[in-house]
Amino acid sequence: MEGERTAGAHDERLIFNAADDLSVALPAPAGAGSRATTRIGAGSVGVRGAVTALRRPIASALETERDFGTGFVAMPVLLAAGAVTYFCLPKEPNLMLIVAAALVVGCATALVRRVQWMRAAGLAALSVLAGVLAGSVETRRHSTQMMGSGISTHVTGRVASIELRANGRTRLTIEVVATERPRLRYAPDRIRATAGDVPGGLVPGDGVTGVVRLLSPSGPARPYGYDFTFENYFDGIGANGFFLSGPFKAQVRGPVPTEIAILAWVERQRLKLSARIRDRISGPEGEVASALVAGVRGGIPEHVTEALRKTGLAHILAISGLHMALVAGTVVGAIRLAFALFPAFSSRHPVKKYAAAGGLLALTLYLVISGAAVAAQRAYVMFAVMLVAVMFDRAALTMRNLAIAAVIILTVAPHEVMGPSFQMSFAATAALIGAYGWYSERRRRRPGGWARLSPFANALRLTGLFFAGLAATSIIAGLATGLFAAWHFQRIAPLGLFANLAAMPVVTIVVMPCAVAGVLAMPLGLDGLFFTGMGKGLALVITVAEWLAGHSPVDVVGAVPPLAVVLLAMAVVLTTWLRAIALPFAAAGLALILMRDSPDMLISEDARLVAITLSDGGLAVNTKRPSAFTLGIWTAALNAGTAVKPQSSTEVLPAPAGTGFRCAGDVCVATHESGAVVAHARSASAASPLCATAILMVIDDATAEGVCAHTHTKVVTKRDLALRGSAEVRFRNGAAGLSHAIGPQLRPWHAHRIYSREARGLPPYRRQQDAAGQ
């Protein structure tokens, strides 16, 4: 224990030596203690006594926090807070101002280094600024060229990756080399395009050509929703689309860049491994097995993915700690077993270190071949630190390993902090480490130990402990990730505990061991038996998931306010009773969720789809064929049960409140239960007659200007939405309050929006009209 304390980071001592300053600051002024005690009355402890009694447990708790390494663990939390602050700023900050602020704080911290609490505060502020700086640098480093408007063009490029989809189509990621007919002056460097058929034998690194319909990456479907443009920007994807003709194999001139060549080779190996697994395991089980081993998840049927999500078993698809632990354990165990066959050699050499080195090599290969997702990176860094510590005869603290993994990811790719993978992965791992660390400490302090039992009784005890640990893991991880699942996906898994109790023993005992053994036996051609066993285990897991999903109660919880997420996440760092400080914040977060103010109306960013809430909890939409994707996100966010299609009418008259939209020609009108009348029109001319009636007018026309200028009607045009994205509306006191998903000032990942035809107030592109004009 003493060695572990000595190995703690110096910054931990700086932060938590504040307990020493606290012991000096808390006593009452000289001469005041006795008078205060006398006035309170007989039997009273007195002010000084109360302060002294409070000082000791606080100092003890701070000392314990320091011993647990909480100071070092706080650093990635502060880095993450800085990165989140940067990405949520309303406008792009000046990089030099960030650097200057960091320098000022650093100098101030150095000047007050003798005052421990001030130095701790300075280090905390410096960590937050480091997170802001990391986000700013990463944004400038990417500078992804993104499409502003949709266009069809002939694309030639190199295939970076190939992903088979469950619907039978294939998605290609292409490094663009050239465009023609028309030639794009600001062509994206990388695109994703789907195709119905691809040439036989097409592999990453090959050249392809074809006519592609390129589309600008879409923004959030609702304010505070998932931003696809943000992810595309940091993935280097400048446009999405689909092939109108092709793709065809093509010869691409010039040498292949080394980085692209290496990545293409890795992708080819992943696809070969995935194909080998699917040859051995057919059906959905083969697709899930491919995801577990090679990280190729595109072919999993949607109904299987949905069943795993509803039952809280979707985590088995993400390569993370469980997968890494089994790979490392299998390799390290096999190497040590092999060395045990040569006792003379083993007694003279550090075979434990050799085994750790072999396990680290196996983990590195597994990380590369699995696609290096965030959860896999976190698990890899944690196990790598542990194995390196073994190689250098050092003890490694698990929570510190998690902090190191977080610092590395936040330094290299700080944008990951905004995604569900990072948040849920680290939340679950931190909660499990804290809970099992607490249990281990209590068990260590327990006098005596387990009573001696018969072999049969001992086996029953171990079985009971296994399932108890599995239940505890499911509950702890579910509670830790439930908040972020509700925030990102507006859903939870009510039967997650039962699903994990039923399925995880199969995954742990059958599926993953067979997967590791199958991959190791693959060079010898002996993988068939192991992969068959893996497939049988996965078939059982899928059966359990589908049965429980069919009996699961409603899992949609609706949108969670952003401030509630922040308040509820504040108790993840401290490990002692000081965590009680966060209880008022947690209570405030729960209160915000219970009293959340849901929007009364939602507007899509293309101005085509509008929905208002109904008194029965449903949604009314303005079109009979709404976008299923957008409507699905809206119904989940508002926890709406049904979508009411519009009624056809010969007259432009508002329908009674709560009955949905009534459409006539190019205009749809509805009355909200609050009495507010809203209208949707396809053109400015169609909208004008309703200016005196509607409180809010949505016009699917980018050229509309000055509509309803002399009335109190709030007008939202296609141009407004093209610049600032989707919107939500709340009706209060006879007025419409509007909030957009983007802006008003555009960040770098949204800067391309100003170049769209709609944002410039231009009508849709018409090739025939242009040709006639020429």
pLDDT in tens, 469-489: 777 877 888 778 888 888 888
Question: Average pLDDT for residues 26-48, to the nearest whole number?
Answer: 43
Integer Cα distance of 426 and 572 in angstroms: 10
- Neighbouring C-beta atoms of residue 752, cutoff 10 Å: 24
Tens-digit pLDDT profile for residues 463-474: 787 778 777 877
**Two tokens at 509?**
């005992």
| Lowest mean pLDDT, pick from 191-195, 256-260, 417-421 | 256-260
Residue for token pair 């295939």: 159
Question: Average pLDDT for residues 312-337, to the nearest whole number?
Answer: 81
Reported as half-sphere exposure (CB side, CA atoms, 13 A), residue 402 has a value of 23
**Measuring CA to CA, which residue among 55, 52, 63 is closest to residue 22?**
55
Integer Cα distance of 534 and 511 in angstroms: 5
pLDDT, greater one: 570 or 36 = 570
Per-residue confidence (pLDDT) for residue 588, from 0 to 100: 84
**Two tokens at 565?**
């997420």
pLDDT, greater one: 371 or 84 = 84
| Lowest mean pLDDT, pick from 190-194, 303-307, 384-388, 438-442 | 438-442
Question: Residue 679's beta-bridge partner residues?
Answer: 669, 697
Distance of CA 354 to the CA centre of its chain: 36
Question: Average pLDDT for residues 717-730, to the nearest whole number?
Answer: 94
pLDDT surpassing 90 at residue 699:
yes
pLDDT surpassing 90 at residue 131:
yes
Q: Which sign does the torsion angle of CA 285, 290, 293, 295 carry?
A: negative
**Measuring CA to CA, which residue among 545, 532, 551, 528 is closest to residue 283?**
532
Question: Residue 736's beta-bridge partner residues?
Answer: 731
Integer Cα distance of 694 and 671 in angstroms: 9
Q: Which sign does the torsion angle of CA 759, 764, 768, 774 carry?
A: negative
pLDDT, greater one: 443 or 7 = 443
- Which of 55-59, 626-630, 655-659, 708-712 is predicted most confidently? 626-630
Per-residue confidence (pLDDT) for residue 534, from 0 to 100: 92
Give me the percent of the chain exceeding a pLDDT of 70. Answer: 87
Phi, psi (rounded to 5 degrees) for 713: -70, 130
pLDDT surpassing 80 at residue 749:
yes
Question: Average pLDDT for residues 221-246, to the nearest whole number?
Answer: 92
pLDDT surpassing 80 at residue 27:
no
Question: Average pLDDT for residues 283-294, to the nearest whole number?
Answer: 89
Per-residue confidence (pLDDT) for residue 150, from 0 to 100: 87
pLDDT surpassing 60 at residue 34:
no
Question: Average pLDDT for residues 572-594, to the nearest whole number?
Answer: 71
Residue for token pair 């009273």: 44
Contacts of 402 (CB under 8 A, 6+ apart): 73, 378, 382, 426, 429, 430, 433
pLDDT surpassing 80 at residue 322:
no
Per-residue confidence (pLDDT) for residue 253, from 0 to 100: 80
pLDDT, greater one: 500 or 276 = 276
Integer Cα distance of 574 and 583 in angstroms: 12
Per-residue confidence (pLDDT) for residue 679, from 0 to 100: 93
Question: Average pLDDT for residues 539-559, to the nearest whole number?
Answer: 86
Integer Cα distance of 719 and 725 in angstroms: 10
Q: How would residue 58 be classed by pLDDT, with cut points 50, 70 and 90?
A: low
Q: Is 20 exposed, middle or buried (0-12, 13-18, 19+ CB in 10 A)?
A: middle
- State the SS3 of 165-178: CCCCCEEEEEEEEE
**Measuring CA to CA, which residue among 157, 308, 303 is closest to residue 239?**
157
Contacts of 167 (CB under 8 A, 6+ apart): none
Question: Average pLDDT for residues 100-117, to the nearest whole number?
Answer: 88
Tens-digit pLDDT profile for residues 445-457: 766 555 566 777 7
Integer Cα distance of 316 and 305 in angstroms: 11
Integer Cα distance of 540 and 549 in angstroms: 14
- What pTM did the predictor assign? 0.81
pLDDT, greater one: 45 or 168 = 168
**Measuring CA to CA, which residue among 407, 403, 418, 487 is closest to residue 139?**
418
Question: Residue 609's beta-bridge partner residues?
Answer: none
| Preceding peptide of 744 cis, ω within 30° | yes
**Two tokens at 43?**
């039997």
- The answer to whether 691 touches 697, Cβ cutoff 8 Å, is yes
Integer Cα distance of 183 and 168 in angstroms: 31
Question: Average pLDDT for residues 764-770, to the nearest whole number?
Answer: 59
Q: How would residue 12 be classed by pLDDT, with cut points 50, 70 and 90?
A: very low
With both helix axes pointing from N to C terminus, report the angle between 321-340 and 351-369 in degrees, rounded to the nearest 10: 140
Integer Cα distance of 189 and 237 in angstroms: 8
pLDDT, greater one: 45 or 471 = 471
Cα–Cα distance list, 24 to 32, 50, 56, 120 (Å): 16, 15, 12, 17
pLDDT surpassing 60 at residue 19:
no
Integer Cα distance of 468 and 504 in angstroms: 12
Per-residue confidence (pLDDT) for residue 66, from 0 to 100: 64
**Two tokens at 472?**
């505890």
Using CA atoms of 647, 653, 656, 662 in order, give the dihedral in degrees to the nearest 10. 20
Question: Average pLDDT for residues 272-285, to the nearest whole number?
Answer: 90
Which residue type is seen at 238?
A: G
Integer Cα distance of 5 and 7 in angstroms: 5
Counting runs of H as helices and runs of E as strands, what totals does the chain give? 28, 17
Per-residue confidence (pLDDT) for residue 68, from 0 to 100: 61
pLDDT surpassing 50 at residue 20:
no
Tens-digit pLDDT profile for residues 592-613: 888 888 899 999 999 999 999 9
Phi, psi (rounded to 5 degrees) for 225: -90, 180
Question: Average pLDDT for residues 585-593, to the nearest whole number?
Answer: 83
Q: Is 714 helix (H, G, I), strand (E, B) or coil?
A: strand
